């Protein structure tokens, strides 16, 4: 896979391939779907995109049953492996992730999207960090008046996955139908989404945040001090050399 993050000067003639995974939190082709298409359309203008898309609940129809197989051993023991595998594999090889979620009341993200984070909790930094996650960037696109809280929760999940370049845009449209938004407002939203997409495209790599570094040292101390060989994730950390060298 060719992966290349652009700077503004590079954008233009040069074709760029960015592997993007899209998570659609709303099954209907409504507000969230519409703004996602605008975002992707603008992203595609910056260069070639390779897209993988997952929609919830269609692509993750099972709830996490809390068996903890993935926390106490290699993730392959998950009873919902057939749904989790393609998603995990797409994330593993992606350059960028796009989370598109409507706001659902006080509980924020739709339950069907939360099952994604439940099923992927094994790759949190406190358990088995994935080296490649520290190289990725993510964008959160939300619709509904509680977008701010929704973004905050999704962002905190991504940070525990090791992704520290997270950008977002929340749209308060006060209607369940994009076409009902007055044209002037709609145009303004579209402009802002396109601007956010271009900025995201140019987002450069950056060193891990202070919080990420601290999280790593705390986890290394806890796992290294209170676990032993034969325990999981002690063995995972040892095999990957994370006791000696940070994954970022």
- Shortest Å, Cβ 111 to ligand FMN: 9
Q: Is 100 helix (H, G, I), strand (E, B) or coil?
A: strand
> 36-75: which residues touch ligand FMN (CB under 6 A)?
none
Of 241, 90, 91, 111, the closest CA to residue 158 belongs to 91
In angstroms, rounded to a whole number, what is the distance separating the alpha carbons of residues 46 and 43? 6
Residue 168 is a binding residue for ligand FMN (CB under 6 A): no
Alpha helices in the chain (DSSP H): 31-45, 81-93, 111-119, 147-160, 183-202, 210-226, 234-239
* Residue of minimal Cβ distance to ligand FMN: 30
Q: Which position among 6, 10, 30, 63 is part of the footprint of ligand FMN (CB under 6 A)?
A: 30
Residue 152 is a binding residue for ligand FMN (CB under 6 A): no
Q: Which position among 7, 68, 145, 209 is part of the footprint of ligand FMN (CB under 6 A)?
A: 145
- C-beta closer to ligand FMN: residue 32 or 90: 32
Stretch 8-27: interaction string toward ligand FMN, x if CB under 6 A: ------------------x-
- Shortest Å, Cβ 37 to ligand FMN: 11
CA 220 to chain centre: 24
In angstroms, rounded to a whole number, what is the distance separating the alpha carbons of residues 35 and 90? 22
Residue 105 is a binding residue for ligand FMN (CB under 6 A): yes
Q: Which position among 20, 55, 97, 102 is part of the footprint of ligand FMN (CB under 6 A)?
A: 102
Entry field: residues in the chain = 248
Of 54, 4, 53, the closest CA to residue 201 belongs to 4
- C-beta closer to ligand FMN: residue 113 or 173: 173
Candidates 3-11, 100-108, 118-126, 195-203 — which segment interacts with ligand FMN by CB under 6 A? 100-108
Phi, psi of 168 (to 5 degrees): -155, 160
- C-beta closer to ligand FMN: residue 102 or 247: 102
Of 32, 47, 49, the closest CA to residue 99 belongs to 32
In angstroms, rounded to a whole number, what is the distance separating the alpha carbons of residues 19 and 94? 5
Residue 28 is a binding residue for ligand FMN (CB under 6 A): yes
Q: Which position among 74, 146, 208, 224 is part of the footprint of ligand FMN (CB under 6 A)?
A: 146
Count of C-beta atoms within a 10 Å radius of residue 165: 19
Residue 169 is a binding residue for ligand FMN (CB under 6 A): no
* Residues near ligand FMN (CB under 6 A): 26, 28, 30-33, 102-105, 143-146, 173, 176
């Amino acid at each position: 896979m060719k992966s290349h993050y652009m700077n503004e000067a590079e954008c233009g003639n040069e074709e760029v391939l960015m592997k993007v995974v899209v998570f659609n939190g709303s099954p209907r082709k409504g507000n969230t779907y519409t703004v996602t298409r605008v975002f992707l359309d603008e992203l595609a203008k910056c260069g070639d995109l390779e897209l993988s898309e997952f929609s919830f609940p269609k692509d993750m129809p099972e709830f996490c049953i809390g068996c903890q197989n993935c926390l106490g051993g290699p993730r392959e023991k998950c009873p919902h492996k057939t749904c989790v595998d393609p998603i995990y594999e797409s994330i593993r090889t992606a350059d960028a992730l796009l989370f598109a979620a409507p706001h659902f009341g006080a509980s924020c993200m739709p339950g069907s999207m939360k099952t994604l984070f439940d099923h992927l909790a094994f790759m949190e930094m406190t358990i088995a960090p994935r080296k490649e996650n520290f190289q990725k960037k993510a964008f959160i696109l939300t619709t509904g008046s509680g977008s701010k809280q929704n973004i905050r929760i999704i962002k905190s999940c991504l940070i525990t996955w090791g992704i520290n370049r997270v950008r977002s845009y929340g749209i308060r449209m006060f209607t369940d139908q994009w076409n009902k938004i007055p044209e002037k407002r709609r145009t303004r939203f579209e402009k802002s989404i396109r601007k956010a997409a271009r900025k995201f495209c140019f987002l450069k790599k950056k060193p891990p945040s202070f919080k990420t570094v601290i999280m790593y040292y705390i986890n290394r101390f806890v796992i290294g001090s209170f676990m032993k060989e034969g325990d999981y994730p002690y063995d995972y950390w040892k095999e990957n050399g994370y006791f000696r060298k940070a994954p970022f």
